Structures are given as structure tokens and as C-alpha cells.
Amino acid sequence: MTPEHPRHLADALRRRRWLISAWPWRALVYLVSTVPIAGALAAGLLVIVAPLLAAVNAVRLQGRPPEIGLMLFLAVGSLTLLALAPLASFPVAAVERWRLGLVDGRPLPPSRWQGLAARYRTAAGWREVAYLFWLGGFVPVAYWVFLLLVLLDLGLVASPWLAGDANEVIVVWGTVDTASEAPPYAIVGVLLIPVLWYAAGLLAAAQAAVARWALAWPVDATALREVARSRTRLVGAYEAERRRIERDLHDGAQPRLTSLTLQLGLARLDVPDDSPAARPLAVAHNQARGLMVMLRQLVHGIRPQTLTDLGLAGAVRELADAATVAVTVRTDLDGALPEIVETTAYFVVSEALGNVARHAGATHAEVRLTRVGADLVVEVSDDGRGGADPARGTGLTGLADRVAAADGRLLLASPPDGPTLIRVELPCRR
């Protein structure tokens, strides 16, 4: 949504036009429509809470245990309430999902009846039960406090008319005996009306936030772990396929293309320059040489040969030597690294140094490769102008996607006027 059209109440409260928008009235409708639901739930809870408070007072004041009948009633009533709560919470949750649309336009998962057993076994069912008790226990107390504040403010505003009676008018911090003493209190009351509007919005926003947290389906941790494992398997399979293509190109197509280029070159030597076949043969030879360069770049893009021959530290030093700015490389690596980690780290350094040359205006850069626990940490810093922004097409977004595919994370610090630091953390699980 655009800034002029907030999607939910918490966002609307931060806007300057809150008081003259429709959001205060939507919040008021949300609060008022809560009253009958919260009232009915509170009455049901009082059936258990009132005798429980009486039993606690009896123990505290009289020093004797409550009667057996009261204890039996509390035990049976509590167990019955707990047993019926998952069933009662389903229709209440359905209504609350619908009412939440008054103050929050973001979608929520719809109510789904998944069977009687699921109401007692799933986390979603018990989250709705927790919301049921919160709606019947905490919300009425908060509403009574807010109502008291509203009545006090109404008393301040109406004090000039109420002071005309024979009795004194009691306001928040004193009494009003005559109508001439009341205007200051009335002015304060009028000034507090916008504050109460904001307070009503905050109360509705807090209630809506709790409702969204409780009524959204919880994340299935098992499914999430399976998704992570599946992504790891896919990345591994993708990397293995990349290596296979690299080997096929390097060991199969590239030697044959090299041989073809050599044969075309020898043929050009045997054909006179004035022969009709000389020009087409020269064109074919040049095209074959161009294809060799293109194929070499493709193989390099899959997995650089220097990475295979020299390892990560050596390949990064080669990148530093080829950079157009002075680059210092510091490495503290022990042991072998998984291939996907090496490849990802190499391309991180390559892209980062390319960004330094193209965008940073730096005179010096530094690359650090270290092992921190089970992670490989890659840091690339420069003394350039800073202000790196992934939205400006500097390759950082694609770099972050490549790092995420290896189950790592990329951190960027690039304030205006520099310096810029890119930190990548790659897990080295085998």
C-alpha cells in the first residue's frame, strides 16, 4: 500500500492525519463490538474465578481451608472449562478473524475445522484457547480502565454545567464550588479528547496485534526443517550438476573446439591468400577462436579453474592481483572447505571487488577470510564513498541470493562517505 493508505491500525496511528481520518472511528467500532463478546466470556470465567477468589479470601482472612464442596466445585468446574474451551474458541476465533478486518486489512488464514481431535492436539487450537481467556480476562479490565478515563474527562468537560447545582463537583484533583471555577477544568477536558482518541487507537491496535498473533496459524517446525533440508538437497544437486557441466565442457567440448581451431589455422596456412576459400576459412577460424574464448568464460563462470588449482585463498589472491585498486588479502583458513562454500565465497569476493572498482571510488580494499567456529566468514572492506544500496543495481541483491542458497547470510554496512564493509557468513557443514 502507499503511505496515504495504511493497511492496519498500528501503521495509521503513526500518520499525522490520524484524527481526521476514518481510522479512529474504525477503532471505536472495533472496541465497541468487542464489548458483548468479551462480556459474555468474562461472565463465563467469573463462574470459576468468583468462587476461587472467595476461597482464597477465606484462607487468608480466617486461616482455615475452604469447604470440601467448594473445592470439588472448583476442581470440576475448572476441568470442565478447560475441556470445553477448545470447542468454544473455534466460533469465537472465526468471529474475531472477521472483526479484525475493521482495523487490519492484512489477510489472515481462514477458520478451518480440522476435526474434533485436532482442537485438542494442535498448537493452533490452544493458541485460540489462550486468546479466548485473554479476551475474557484481560480485555474487560483494560476496557474498564479506559471507560473510567473517558468518564473522568466527560466530568471535566461538563463541570461548568454541573457546578450550578447546590452540591460540589469533584474533579480529578479537586472540587468545583461555582461555575466560575469550572472553565479551566473544562478546557483541560477538551484538550484531553484527542489524547483519548489516540488512547482508543492504541488499545484497539494492541488488541488487534494480540489477535493476529494468536489467530495466525503457527509455523510448523517440522515442515520448516523439511523445507530447509529440501533446499539443502536441491542446492547440493544443483552444485553437482554445475560441476558435471563444467567437466563436460572442460574435458569434452573445449579440447575438441581447440583442435578444430588448430586445424582451421593450419588450413589457412595452406590456402593462398588470393584463393576463393581464403576469406570464408579466415572467418571460420576467427569464429572458432571467439567460441573458445566464450567457452572458457562459461567454464570459468561455473567454477573457476584457479579455485580448483589454488584453493580459495590462492584464488582470492589472484583476484586481488587483477583488481584495479590496491587490495590486501588476509586469510586464516585451516582444513578443507565444502565446494559450495568455496565457490560462493569466491564469487562474493569477485563481485565485491568489482563493485569497489565500479562504484566505490576507493583507493584501497581489504579481503579477510577466517574460520569462526563452524562458519567461514568473508569480509570485504574499502575506503570509498560508501552509500552502497542494493536497489541501485550494484549486484548486491544477486549476491545475497547466492549466499542465501548456501544457507548463509550477508551483512552490509555502507554509511555515506564510507567506509563500506560486506560480511558474509557461510556454514561449513559437510
Give CA–CA dist 111/118, Å, rounded. Answer: 13
> Which has the minimum average pLDDT: 78-82, 141-145, 376-380?
78-82
Domain termination residue (choose one: 250, 273, 302): 302
Category of 295 on φ-ψ map: left (φ > 0), alpha (ψ -120 to 50) or beta: alpha
Give CA–CA dist 321/306, Å, rounded. Answer: 13
Give CA–CA dist 280/269, Å, rounded. Answer: 14
Query: Is residue 181 in a domain?
Result: yes
Category of 427 on φ-ψ map: left (φ > 0), alpha (ψ -120 to 50) or beta: beta
Give CA–CA dist 250/34, Å, rounded. Answer: 70
Cis peptide before 140 (omega within 30 of 0): no
Task: Enumerate residues 6+ apart whose C-beta is below 8 A from 396.
Answer: 355, 388, 389, 390, 410, 412, 422
Beta strands in 98-193 (DSSP E): 169-170, 175-176
- pLDDT computed for residue 40 by the predictor: 86
Angle between helices 123-157 and 23-62 (to 10 degrees): 100
> Do 198 and 272 share a domain, yes or no?
no
Q: Which residue is listed with cell 572498482? A: 357
Q: Which residue is listed with cell 489462550? A: 130
> Do 180 and 243 share a domain, yes or no?
no
CATH number at 354 reads 3.30.565.10
> Do 243 and 366 share a domain, yes or no?
no
Q: Which domain holds residue 71?
A: 9-215
> Do 243 and 170 share a domain, yes or no?
no
- Grid coordinates standing for 325? 585498486
Q: What is the pLDDT of residues 107-118, one digit of tens each?
A: 776 666 777 777
Number of domains into which the chain is organized? 3
Q: What is the pLDDT of residues 64-73, one digit of tens each?
A: 666 777 677 6
- Grid coordinates standing for 307? 579455485
Query: Is residue 231 in a domain?
Result: no
> Do 276 and 290 share a domain, yes or no?
yes
Domain termination residue (choose one: 268, 302, 336): 302
Per-residue pLDDT averaged across 234-242, rounded? Answer: 61
What is the greatest pairwise CA distance in the chain? 128
> Do 402 and 381 share a domain, yes or no?
yes
Give CA–CA dist 249/305, Å, rounded. Answer: 12
Using a 10 angstrom Cβ sphere, with 0-12 exposed, 13-18 middle and 19 or more buried, the burial of residue 23 is buried
Whether residue 301 has pLDDT greater than 50: yes
Q: Which residue is listed with cell 572458432? A: 288
Task: Enumerate residues 6+ apart whose C-beta is below 8 A from 299.
Answer: 246, 249, 250, 254, 305
Alpha helices by DSSP H, listed for 249-388, are 254-270, 278-302, 305-322, 339-355
> Do 174 and 207 share a domain, yes or no?
yes
> Do 20 and 44 share a domain, yes or no?
yes
Query: Is residue 221 in a domain?
Result: no
- Grid coordinates standing for 16? 499525522
Q: What is the pLDDT of residues 211-220, one digit of tens each?
A: 888 887 654 5
Position 430 confidence tier, pLDDT thresholds 50, 70, 90: low
- pLDDT computed for residue 298 by the predictor: 60
Domain termination residue (choose one: 215, 249, 271): 215
